[in-house]
Amino acid sequence: MGLTLSSLENLINTVAILALFSVVIYGAKSFDKFTKNKKIRILIGSLVGGLFGIYAQHNGVNFVDSTVTVRDVGPMIAGVLGGPICGLFAGLIAGIYRFYVGFSSILDSSIFPIGGTTILCSFATVFIGILSGVFRDRVNKDTKNRKWYALILVILLELFHLFVVFVFYIITTKDFGFSFKYILDIAPSFLLSNAIAMFIIILIFDMLNKYKNAEVKEVVNETELSTAAKIQTSMLPQNIGDLGETFRFSLFADMCPSKKVGGDFYDFFYVDKNNLCIIVGDTSDKGVGSALFSVKVKQMLKDYINIESSLDSAITKVNKELIKDNFQLMFVTLFAGIINLQTGKLTYINAGHCPPIYYDGELKTLDKLSGPALGVVEANYISFYEKLSVNSNLVIYTDGVTDAVNKDNEQYGIDRFKKYVRANKNSTSKTFVKKALDEIKEFGPEQVDDVTILELRYKGRK
């Protein structure tokens, strides 16, 4: 055995440092930005590959008259990742350095065969860089198995390198036995160290790529989510002029999703000229799935409430429809009410939703339940009534309000919210809602649930 274990260890240490070097350079986010331009990419690839070769050469292990190094791996990686030109330049840098280091041996006549392997090895490095570039398509074709193809490539190229050296020795020494022994001594460590170097570094590049792709995917997802969020917001009624009238009531609603899109929704529309329908719902879970479900439910509610003769039958039928094909087992808690704007009579259904707060000089909650959350079991939903006083406040909200938690794991809770209602009962509907959302956000900045608030001030003028 030509080389000792400690020499091999020395080579592996070199590989480790080079690997670390690759991680730092290639892993840096600015690397991608900087290398968008193809020419710059080739330039950087060549430089890094070349410097890699120089460093490896510098840290090689001396053996007989040559140095066993992983120098070739620099240009090889440059070739595999950057193409033949990149491989050529990296090879030239590393090759020229190899030539410079071994130059004295060419002049030194005591070294036999003449010039040792200086000239050969310098050229081999350049060729290996180019050849790696030529075979890069084959290596990169199958990204999953790229490391194995790179391993085969490095072994083949280094066998080629050894073969050329072998032939050179036979020609110059005319001693087959000596040449064969020399190659046999050097080959195992040479092949093994280069193979390990190449394999590890490609493996690291693959891992970095995976990580980078995941980041890109996240950015794409973010963009798609933003679009979805915009669509969702556009589907919730905008509080334009509070439905064009301010004398019979004022109303404002807003939803603040915990993720970009939420499962909460609200709606308000006229059933006829004197009856206003208001809806606040909360679909189980958050995110895209529940947002889509919410869209469906919101549309169904509007359709059925407009068609059916009563709120009871509308909600009962929507529930029946939702149970069909509900494989995802989503459900919706819902408050739906119809206010007769002439009389102030509120007819409402509460399907598993948190009870609204009502203030008319006295604060109370509308805590009657009509039935379970929608979408799970068949049920007959029965409506209740409440006579709204003039200048009363009706606040419908989702559990994101009361369930908001601060860093001490303390809930915002119903009592705080009631206090807020009392203190802000005279604000405009818009200020009431916006300020409440701000207060809740301030209380629990790490929002885990969607927060929706709808406030209606019944004014009773005709």
Q: Which residues bind other proteins (CB under 8 A)?
A: 258, 263, 282-286, 329-331, 333, 351-355, 369, 371-373, 376-377, 379, 399, 403, 405, 409, 411, 448-449
Q: How far is the CB of 379 from other proteins (least distance, A)?
A: 8
Select 46 or 283, whichever has its Cβ closest to other proteins. Answer: 283
> Phi and psi of 385, rounded to 5°?
-125, 155
> Phi and psi of 341, rounded to 5°?
-75, -15
Q: How far is the CB of 330 from other proteins (least distance, A)?
A: 7
Phi-psi region for residue 64, left (φ > 0), alpha (ψ -120 to 50) or beta?
left
Q: How far is the CB of 260 from other proteins (least distance, A)?
A: 13
- HSE toward the beta carbon, residue 401, CA cutoff 13 A: 29
CB 356 within 8 A of CB 397: yes
Dihedral angle, C-alpha 415, 416, 419, 420, nearest 10 °: -140
Select 337 or 371, whichever has its Cβ closest to other proteins. Answer: 371
Strand order in the sheet with 451-458: 249-256, 451-458, 392-397, 357-359, 363-365
CB 133 within 8 A of CB 88: yes
Select 209 or 328, whichever has its Cβ closest to other proteins. Answer: 328
Q: How far is the CB of 451 from other proteins (least distance, A)?
A: 12
Kindly give the residue spans of alpha helices, DSSP state H, lying in 324-443: 399-402, 413-423, 429-443
DSSP percent split of the chain into helix, strand, coil, nearest 5: 55, 15, 25
R_g (Cα) of the chain, nearest Å: 37
Q: Report which residue type is found at 331.
A: F
Select 416 or 430, whichever has its Cβ closest to other proteins. Answer: 416
Select 206 or 399, whichever has its Cβ closest to other proteins. Answer: 399
Q: How far is the CB of 352 from other proteins (least distance, A)?
A: 4
Q: How far is the CB of 423 from other proteins (least distance, A)?
A: 25
Select 59 or 350, whichever has its Cβ closest to other proteins. Answer: 350
Select 154 or 351, whichever has its Cβ closest to other proteins. Answer: 351
Which SS3 state, helix, strand or coil, does residue 247 take? Answer: coil
Q: How far apart are the first and last CA of the chain?
A: 105
Q: How far is the CB of 153 from other proteins (least distance, A)?
A: 41
